[in-house]
Amino acid sequence: MKEIFIKQRFEVPFRYNVYFKRDLFEESNDFLRKLLESEGASRLAVVIDGGLAQAQPDLRSRIDRYFKGSFTAACIEVQGGEAVKNSWEGVEAVLKLVNEQHIDRHSYVIAIGGGAVLDMAGFAAAIAHRGVRHIRIPTTVLSQNDSGVGVKNGINYFGKKNFIGTFAPPNVVINDVTFLETLNDRDWRSGISEAIKVSLLKDPDFFEWIEENVHALNARNADVMEELIYRCAELHVEHISGQGDPFESGSSRPLDFGHWAAHKLEHVTDYTVRHGEAVAMGIALDVCYAGEIGMLSQALTDRIVRLISSLGFAVYHTDLGDENGMNPEIMHGLVEFQEHLGGVLTITLIEDVGKAVDVHEVDHDAYDRSIKKLKNRS
Amino acid sequence: MKEIFIKQRFEVPFRYNVYFKRDLFEESNDFLRKLLESEGASRLAVVIDGGLAQAQPDLRSRIDRYFKGSFTAACIEVQGGEAVKNSWEGVEAVLKLVNEQHIDRHSYVIAIGGGAVLDMAGFAAAIAHRGVRHIRIPTTVLSQNDSGVGVKNGINYFGKKNFIGTFAPPNVVINDVTFLETLNDRDWRSGISEAIKVSLLKDPDFFEWIEENVHALNARNADVMEELIYRCAELHVEHISGQGDPFESGSSRPLDFGHWAAHKLEHVTDYTVRHGEAVAMGIALDVCYAGEIGMLSQALTDRIVRLISSLGFAVYHTDLGDENGMNPEIMHGLVEFQEHLGGVLTITLIEDVGKAVDVHEVDHDAYDRSIKKLKNRS
């Protein structure tokens, strides 16, 4: 039996649609009911973000009314925000609901809320019965244009972000811009940084479109925001399938542009800086750095940092460093980033709008100078 | 924005080999070291089945010696048998090892043991960092020819078998028949029932080969057992990729032949009946039933039941029922089986060796008669 072995090779297809609908749980809007009926669903387990439920006190009863008579739906509320990812409690609550509601592989877990709740509920849905059907209804800008349309889920463990989780595409994503109405200004703004990021990496037209729509976005124009979300989500969705490595088995993840410093800054500030705010600063930093090392023109560097500022984002935080240069704790983020990816260091920069470049080593002095420049700008 | 949506479609390729090697952890056998070196691995987290470690007291030191100087390997022992799947403790221990050992997506979790330990460790490996590389080294007949070469993992939760888990193919499987030497006779025999099962479903030649090798198997001939495992594992591996639905999104699972009653019998007997023993009885029952309803000839029915008996398996257990017919609790297994699959009832029977047939309704009287016949045989 020496030198012989059995070879296993197969491919698994994944398919899902991201719909854009308004007033999803209005009784007269039968989109979701029809979608569920067409899939033969009967039982639903609905997980609602507690923060959203507080901001929209009639949501729970609207959902109950919406499904009544058509489906056996059981709802629970879970804590909103990152806290829901810091313990097993939320996952346990969703698993319990799946068990009690007899959700099988042809019923649905529906999660409604911000990115953290979707990450947690998506993880529970992915491991219950080795994966039950799952609908994501993201209710923040950040989750509608970025995390909610992707393929990842997870919770924090041992104090480490997303230490446990899976790659598990949802069956359906539904973005309803009317959920954004009750967001505060910080959360409304936060998600825009991911749109800036993908425009810089992939789409000069989209970058210019954002520049042209700064005032409408600052004035909380829902139509404009919906278009921003659509274009950003579309680029994100294309990126996942277009790279040939949707479950990230390789080392390069170009959509992490601006993210190494952002992750670290969130941690160092104890998450008082929101993810989108940290990403805005991380982009400003890496853009400035690309300018410093002569990869990006000074005019374009200024233009990008100006756009970020004009949307109301800070481009500098004292915890990033000071006139002496970068905070060593932030700089250490590069090492951790490399360890997380488990290969050689790979940082994505841009040499023009729409032109991403991977680099594998960095000039620490140029990062120190970038910090000083951003401090002086702010 | 009405009626437009973003479409996501991609395919993920999965590949792994099942190797057959002997004396894997002999220092002179560099197969595993070379394999790990060729993949650029440096850090290893090794999970050892406590039952195996007890039966082979020098295993732990042999493993330490084997990796010393070549890899940074950390080992833990976990409880063997189904108990390790009944709490979160084992998963927590593996996650802790992954964290402390800084296992990233290019290092390896290596699990060595029976099916339960592989299920638990495989689950932990699948959720740590959204999936770290994983090598399975099954050490029982059942895990070498069936569960260990497949794509599932999981633990029990809310008292329900495999309530949480994932579909996550291993990176490599290595079957070493020398691990079987210390199995007791019940465990040596148990795994053979899965070989009978796949031969009945798919391979008449293999069925005849098993008939011809009854004495060698009963005499614990390692060469013959290795060939049985190879042929069974190969059919299993081909089944997973050949059906076009490796992650079981559909309702039919023909490899569950004989399993609906087996699962229920294990539960009813509080797992004093081993899985392989229960499967042997489940096959005998469904074969008898196929004979009763005229699907299978009486001669073939007798021949199959005779083979099962000749290998030392019981074909009847008092908890299956008595002269009044089937135990209602066992009969209820049909309902649970349907619920687990979440669609219409689908039971696989055979109309000849190698000819599987799916049926969607059953004749309870014929099951009652089958129980009586098996009771009289025993």
**Are B144 and B281 members of one domain?**
no
**A11, A104, A130 ranked by CB distance to B165: nearest:** A130
**A207 Cβ contact partners less than 8 Å away, ≥ 6 residues apart:** A196, A199, A200, A307, A353, A354
**A306 Cβ contact partners less than 8 Å away, ≥ 6 residues apart:** none
Q: Measuring CA to CA, how many Å separate A54 from each of A50, B17, B148?
A: 6, 52, 47
Residue A9 within any structural domain of the chain? no
Interface test with B, best of A3, A4, A7, A8 (most B CBs within 10 A): A8
Phi, psi torsion values for B135, nearest 5 degrees: -115, 130
pLDDT at B150 over 80: yes
**Are A179 and A194 members of one domain?**
no
User: At A210, is the pLDDT very low, low, confident or very high (cuts 50, 70, 90)?
Assistant: very high
Report the C-alpha gap between B370 and B291 in whole angstroms: 9
Residue B236 within any structural domain of the chain? yes
Q: Measuring CA to CA, how many Å separate B330 from each of A330, B266, B319, B320?
A: 61, 10, 8, 6
**What residues does A8 pair with on adjacent strands?**
B16
Residue B7 within any structural domain of the chain? no
**DSSP assigned state of B340:** H
**Are A116 and A35 members of one domain?**
yes
Q: Give the whole-number percent of chain B exceeding pLDDT 70.
A: 96
pLDDT at B254 over 80: no
Q: What is the pLDDT of residue A3?
A: 61
Residue contact A247–B131, C-beta within 8 A: yes
pLDDT at B55 over 50: yes
The region that residue A110 occupies, defined by phi over 0 for left and psi between -120 and 50 for alpha, beta otherwise, is beta
- Max alpha carbon distance in chain B (Å)? 72
Residue contact A8–B127, C-beta within 8 A: no
Answer with the one of A155, A183, A211 that is the final residue of a domain.
A183
**Are B61 and B158 members of one domain?**
yes
Comparing alpha-carbon positions, the chain B residue that sits nearest to A238 is B8
Q: Cα-Cα-Cα-Cα dihedral of A31, A32, A34, A35, to 10°?
A: 110
Cβ atoms of A193 and A186 within 8 Å: the answer is no
Residue contact B12–A246, C-beta within 8 A: yes
Q: What is the pLDDT of residue B129?
A: 94
Mean pLDDT of chain B: 93
Answer with the one of B156, B183, B210 that is the final residue of a domain.
B183
Residue contact B15–A4, C-beta within 8 A: no
**Are A287 and A331 members of one domain?**
yes
Residue A44 within any structural domain of the chain? yes
Residue contact B104–A14, C-beta within 8 A: no
Cβ atoms of B171 and B134 within 8 Å: the answer is yes
Q: Measuring CA to CA, how many Å separate A303 from each of A207, A211, A298, A308, B286?
A: 11, 10, 9, 9, 74
Q: Please list every residue in chain B whose beta carbon sits closer than 8 Å to the beta carbon of residue A163.
A: 95, 99, 128-129
Report the C-alpha gap between B97 and B109 in whole angstroms: 9
**A14, A152, A160 ranked by CB distance to B130: nearest:** A152
**Are B177 and B224 members of one domain?**
no
CB pairs under 8 A between A and B: 178
Q: What is the mean pLDDT of residues B235-247?
A: 89
Of the candidates A275, A202, A57, A44, the one whose C-alpha atom is nearest the C-alpha of residue A137 is A44
**What residues does A9 pair with on adjacent strands?**
B15
Q: What is the pLDDT of residue B336?
A: 76
**A108 Cβ contact partners less than 8 Å away, ≥ 6 residues apart:** A36, A39, A41, A43, A44, A45, A132, A133, A134, A135, A171
Q: What is the mean pLDDT of residues B25-45?
A: 95
The range of the structural domain enclosing residue B30 comes to 17-183
Q: Please list every residue in chain B whose beta carbon sits closer than 8 Å to the beta carbon of residue A8.
A: 14-18, 149, 169, 237, 240-241
**What residues does A74 pair with on adjacent strands?**
A45
At B79-105, the pLDDT tens digits run 999 999 999 999 999 999 999 999 987
Comparing alpha-carbon positions, the chain B residue that sits nearest to A160 is B99
Q: Cα-Cα-Cα-Cα dihedral of B140, B144, B146, B152, to 10°?
A: 100
**Are A119 and A232 members of one domain?**
no
Answer with the one of B183, B207, B236 that is the final residue of a domain.
B183
Q: What is the pLDDT of residue B355?
A: 95
Q: What is the mean pLDDT of residues A195-199?
A: 97
**Are B63 and B160 members of one domain?**
yes
Among A86-100, B23-37, B249-263, name the one with the lowest average pLDDT: B249-263
**A293 Cβ contact partners less than 8 Å away, ≥ 6 residues apart:** A363, A366
Q: What is the pLDDT of residue B95?
A: 98
**B123 Cβ contact partners less than 8 Å away, ≥ 6 residues apart:** A127, B91, B153, B154, B155, B164, B165, B166, B168
Q: Which residue has the tokens 């598990």?
A: A168
Q: What is the mean pLDDT of residues A324-337?
A: 87
What is the CATH number for B334?
1.20.1090.10
Q: What is the pLDDT of residue B1?
A: 45
Kindly state the helix (H) or strand (E) to which residue B351 belongs, with its residue range. strand B347-352
- State the Cα angle at A148 between A142 and A154, rounded to 5°: 105
Residue B345 within any structural domain of the chain? yes
**Are A222 and A136 members of one domain?**
no
**A65 Cβ contact partners less than 8 Å away, ≥ 6 residues apart:** A27
pLDDT at B125 over 90: yes
Cβ atoms of A375 and A322 within 8 Å: the answer is yes
Q: What is the pLDDT of residue B341?
A: 62
Sign of CA dihedral B239, B240, B241, B245: positive
Q: Please list every residue in chain A whose beta carbon sits closer than 8 Å to the beta carbon of residue B227.
A: 1
At B105-115, the pLDDT tens digits run 779 999 999 99
Q: Where are the extended beta strands (E) located within B40-115?
A: 43-49, 72-78, 108-113
Q: What is the mean pLDDT of residues A38-56?
A: 95
pLDDT at A1 over 60: no
Q: Please list every residue in chain B whose beta carbon sits closer than 8 Å to the beta carbon of residue A1.
A: 20, 226-227, 230
State which of A258-262, A350-354, B40-44, B334-338 shows the largest mean pLDDT: A350-354
At A147-161, the pLDDT tens digits run 999 999 999 999 888
Interface test with A, best of B94, B107, B123, B130 (most A CBs within 10 A): B130
Going by their DSSP bridges, the two strands A321-322 and B5-20 should be labelled as unpaired
Residue A11 within any structural domain of the chain? no
Residue A4 within any structural domain of the chain? no
**A107, A166, A249 ranked by CB distance to B166: nearest:** A166
**Are B154 and B25 members of one domain?**
yes
Q: Predicted ipTM?
A: 0.93
Residue A151 within any structural domain of the chain? yes
Sign of CA dihedral B164, B167, B172, B174: positive
Q: What is the pLDDT of residue A161?
A: 86
Question: Nearest CA of chain A to the CA of B7: how many Å?
Answer: 5
Q: What is the pLDDT of residue A345?
A: 83
Interface test with A, best of B2, B6, B103 (most A CBs within 10 A): B6
Interface test with A, best of B8, B164, B228 (most A CBs within 10 A): B8
**Are B106 and B50 members of one domain?**
yes
pLDDT at B214 over 60: yes
Residue contact B163–A246, C-beta within 8 A: no
Mean pLDDT of chain A: 94
Q: Please list every residue in chain B whose beta carbon sits closer than 8 Å to the beta carbon of residue A14.
A: 8-12
At A348-360, the pLDDT tens digits run 999 999 999 999 9
Q: What is the pLDDT of residue A231?
A: 97
**Are A330 and A293 members of one domain?**
yes
What is the CATH number for A174?
3.40.50.1970
Residue contact B14–A10, C-beta within 8 A: yes
Q: How many domains does chain A have?
A: 2
Q: What is the pLDDT of residue B335?
A: 78
